[in-house]
Amino acid sequence: MKSILSFSLNGAPVEVLVKTTDTLLDVLRESLGYTGAKRGCDAGDCGACTVIVDGLAIRACLAIALTMSGKEVVTIEGLGKQGDLHPLQKAFHQHGAHQCGFCTSGMIVSAKTLLDKIPNPSQDEIVEYMSGNICRCGTYVEVAEAIQAVSGGKE
Amino acid sequence: MENVGYFAPSDVGQALELLAEQGSKATVLAGGTDLVPAINYYSLWPENLIFIGALGLDYIKEEGGKLLIGSGATWTQILEDPLVAEKAPALAQAARQGGSVATRNAGTVGGNLANASPAADLTVILLALEAEVLLKSSAGKRTVALKDFFTGPGETVMNDDELLMEVQIPLPAGSAAFQKLGRRKAMTLSVVNAGVKLNLDGDTCSGACIALGAMAPTPLRCSAAEEMLVGKKLDAALIAECAAAAVAAGSPIDDQRASAWYRTKAGTAIVARALAQAAGIGG
Ligand SMILES: Cc1cc2nc3c(=O)[nH]c(=O)nc-3n(C[C@H](O)[C@H](O)[C@H](O)COP(=O)(O)OP(=O)(O)OC[C@H]3O[C@@H](n4cnc5c(N)ncnc54)[C@H](O)[C@@H]3O)c2cc1C
């Protein structure tokens, strides 16, 4: 069964034909060409597909696309773009908070929701909040440094 | 699998009608954090999905001497709710230790119960808090105590046409505690978990509930261990004895998370910690 799904993507209204069996991640990557959210585990464990829905971080791989009807979805593409990067994107770059880069978009999206909630997080708060984003290269120290650098809007 | 139907009713009445019509052909979808990984991995598509996220079941309130939590309340709501923090802090404590921010933002208490995993975290503390669930169908409603709710791994007494509406926690919720042992600190299912609730008269225990997870096909209430505490003053020796008795009620298995042997050892420590915490005894 195919239906039309209408939602807001990075501030702009979108209408797209989806199957009941599509997840938000399928629709973003395969129907709409937004490949910033990555398909890592497809089980909610890794965090590479993290997106923001109505202000809260969720796993795009676990959201049945049709449940997004009328919601506001923000992906890494909505945070900043080439030449106009989000402060977190700049800080991740400056602090080398990535190696292969696969987890980075999910990390930055999670970090954005952390700073929206706690503008000045402690190291412990960063570590706890970011524990749902896994990095196989082991960039955790740099990730925390990058978030710390942006916290309180310092950068 | 191309033809899965999708329904997103906007009120409870509509949802119950759909469930009555479709019976076993329909699967309820809440946050999807248990259902969708299973679908992604095993392509286990139901015939129809009924999404219940728009039914307004995400409330938390106090009424008639009970804390009432709508089945659609998320882990995040529970761990941030001031009423939960005041009336049932052990539930918030459990909510804080589940999954990650993103799964807590989507996963619901109703899903945690209805999924009936023997290792579920909110479930084990709710079992200790003597919670009941309100079930509704188009034909009527009933409340079931959680101790009578689970019948096996993934199995409950709920009928195909019933919706889990609400969790009801009797107040006051005693002095309660939740403990979990996972394979790491975060983002991990429990190797073993425990919830306890003590009613204390001064330092004498006048009633105890001990619930144990991941130690049997369903979350367990350990009545023999509970009785050992009644009328007694809790101390380290009694706690150790009681924890051993609680774990003896289990029938743990070897699986990818731990061996039965390890579960027995760790479970004893986890129950003892929960009892000590609830009794306010250091250690
Ligand atoms: C990465 C990850 C980490 C996790 N960590 C933990 C953890 O630490 N501890 C833990 O306990 N769990 C954990 N979980 C499991 C899961 O997040 C929880 O069990 C969650 O509460 C499930 O709720 P849901 O709304 O997502 O359920 P869904 O997936 O939507 O539904 C689960 C089941 O319940 C049924 N159902 C849901 N709501 C109702 C209702 N109101 N009435 C009738 N049936 C209903 C559905 O049909 C389905 O069978 C984790 C999951 C993931 C993906």
What's the order of all strands across the beta sheet hosting B66-70?
B60-63, B66-70, B163-170, B132-137, B140-145
Say if ligand 1 is within 6 A of residue B226 CB. Answer: no
CB of B110 closer than 6 angstroms to any ligand 1 atom = yes
Q: Which residues of B touch A23 (CB under 8 A)?
A: 36, 40
Rounded distance between C-alpha atoms, residue B38 and residue B234, angstroms: 43
Ligand 1 centroid from CA B109, angstroms:
7
Q: How far is the CA of B115 from the centre of ligand 1 (A)?
A: 6
State which residue of chain B sits closest to A127, comparing Cα positions.
B186
Integer-rounded Cα radius of gyration of chain A? 15
Residue B262 pLDDT > 70: yes
- Mean pLDDT, rounded, for B90-117: 97
Decide if B26 contacts B50 (C-beta within 8 A).
Answer: yes
The total of other beta-carbon atoms located within 10 Å of residue B37's CB is: 19
Q: Token pair 């390890």 is at which residue? A: B262
Pick from B164, B121, B172, B122: nearest CA to B144 = B164
Residues B145-166 pLDDT 10s: 999 999 999 999 999 999 999 9
Question: Whose alpha carbon is nearest atom 15 of ligand 1?
Answer: B34
Tell me the mean pLDDT in the region B105-119: 98
pLDDT of A50 reads 98
Task: Point out the residue among A21, A43, A50 whose CB comes nearest to the CB of B102.
Answer: A50
Sequence-separated (6 or more) residues with CB below 8 Å from residue B261: none
The DSSP output letter for A42 is S
Domains with residue ranges and CATH for chain B: 5-51 (3.30.43.10), 60-170 (3.30.465.10), 175-279 (3.30.390.50)
Strand segments, DSSP code E, in A1-155 are 2-9, 12-19, 50-53, 56-59, 72-74
Q: Which three-class secondary structure state does DSSP give residue B201?
A: strand
* Confidence tier at B283 by pLDDT (50, 70, 90): low
Reported ipTM: 0.96
Over residues B25-61, the pLDDT tens digits come to 999 999 999 999 998 888 888 999 999 999 999 999 9
Ligand 1 neighbourhood includes B31 CB (under 6 angstroms): yes
CA–CA distance, B182 with B189 (Å, rounded to integer): 6
Ligand 1 atom closest to the CA of B71, numbered from 1 = 41
User: Which mutation among B50, B93, B103, B123 tests ligand 1's pocket best, with the greatest number of atoms within 8 A of CB?
Assistant: B103
| The model's pTM | 0.97
pLDDT score for A154: 52
Q: What is the pLDDT of residues B218-230, one digit of tens each?
A: 999 999 999 999 9
Domains of chain A: 2-78 (3.10.20.30), 87-151 (1.10.150.120)
| Alpha carbon distance B243, B237 (integer Å) | 10
Q: Walk along chain A (155 residues) and give the pLDDT tens digit of each residue.
A: 789 999 999 999 999 999 999 999 999 999 999 999 999 999 999 999 999 999 999 999 999 999 999 999 999 999 998 899 999 999 999 999 999 999 999 999 999 999 999 999 999 999 999 999 999 999 999 999 999 999 975 54
- The model's pLDDT over B194-209, given as tens digits with 9 standing for 90+, comes to 999 999 998 899 999 9
The DSSP output letter for B265 is H
Distance from Cα B81 to the centre of ligand 1, integer Å: 20
Contact at 8 Å (CB) between A63 and A7? no
- pLDDT, tens only, B227-261: 999 999 999 999 999 999 999 999 999 988 899 99
Residue B187 has pLDDT above 90, yes or no: no
Binding site membership of B161 for ligand 1 (Cβ less than 6 Å): no
Cβ of A47 within 8 Å of Cβ of B102? The answer is yes
How many angstroms does the Cα of residue B29 sit away from the middle of ligand 1? 9
The CA distance from B92 to the nearest CA of chain A, in Å, is: 16
The verdict on the CB of residue B107 being under 6 Å from ligand 1 is: yes
Task: Provide the 10 A C-beta neighbour count for residue A25.
Answer: 24
